[in-house]
Structure 1
Amino acid sequence: MNKSELVAAMAAKAEISKKDAEKALKAFEDVVMEELQAGGKIQLVGFGTFEVTERKARVGRNPKTNEEMSIPGGKAPKFKAGKALKDVVKGE
């Protein structure tokens, strides 16, 4: 499912226009990005948690030359699925 299909599905499910559904999705994306940029996290009980994780610097290998190279640490977004979402995917 791509973004336009998601907007159409949201509009049908909520019985709103596609334009309103697109605004709602854009607002959700903006709020999540702003919160993660500020170092916070968003918990949606049953669905999951969006948060930022710290990755340590490490040594990797270039697969072509087998030469060691350093990979810098940094921050990365992470999503952890909640129990209800996991159960739906499992078919329970």
Structure 2
Amino acid sequence: MTKADLVDEVAALGDLTRRDADVIVETIFSGMIEALRADDKIEIRGFGSFRSRQRKPRTGRNPKTGQRVDVPAKRVPYFKPSKELRDQVNAAAARTAAPPAEG
């Protein structure tokens, strides 16, 4: 699903114009980005939580040349799905992977 698909879904569910739906989606994403920038945790019940994690500096390697490269410390976004979301995804995967019943 792309951002445009999400905007279309919001517009269809809310009987909104595409422009209004785009503003809603942009507002939600902007709020989430600002919360992560401020090092706040975002928790959406039944979906999961977002937070930022600090990565330590390390020595990497340029795959093209093999040369060692110092990678600085940085903060990265991290998503942890809720148990409900994991269960729903696993149930959907089990339905599609199950062999047809013989009978």
Same fold, judged at TM 0.5 (above): yes
Aligned counterpart, 2:30: 30
Residue correspondences, number: 92
Taking the aligned partners of 1:25 and 1:32, their CA distance within structure 2 comes to 11
Moved more, 10-19 or 50-59: 10-19
Please tell me the residue identity of whatever aligns with 2:51. E
C-alpha RMSD over aligned residues:
1.5
Q: Percent identity?
A: 37
Taking the aligned partners of 1:25 and 1:66, their CA distance within structure 2 comes to 42
Q: Higher RCO, 1 or 2 (CA under 8 Å, sep at least 6)?
A: 1
CA displacement 1:14-48 (0-9 Å, x = unmatched): 33332222121111011101111111111011101
- Unaligned ranges ≥5, structure 1: none
Taking the aligned partners of 1:23 and 1:37, their CA distance within structure 2 comes to 21
Taking the aligned partners of 2:85 and 2:62, their CA distance within structure 1 comes to 37
Taking the aligned partners of 1:86 and 1:18, their CA distance within structure 2 comes to 31
Taking the aligned partners of 2:83 and 2:14, their CA distance within structure 1 comes to 24
TM-score (norm 1): 0.87
Aligned counterpart, 2:54: 54
- Unaligned ranges ≥5, structure 2: 93-103
Aligned counterpart, 2:96: none
TM-score (norm 2): 0.79
Taking the aligned partners of 2:7 and 2:64, their CA distance within structure 1 comes to 42
Highest CA radius of gyration, 1 or 2? 2
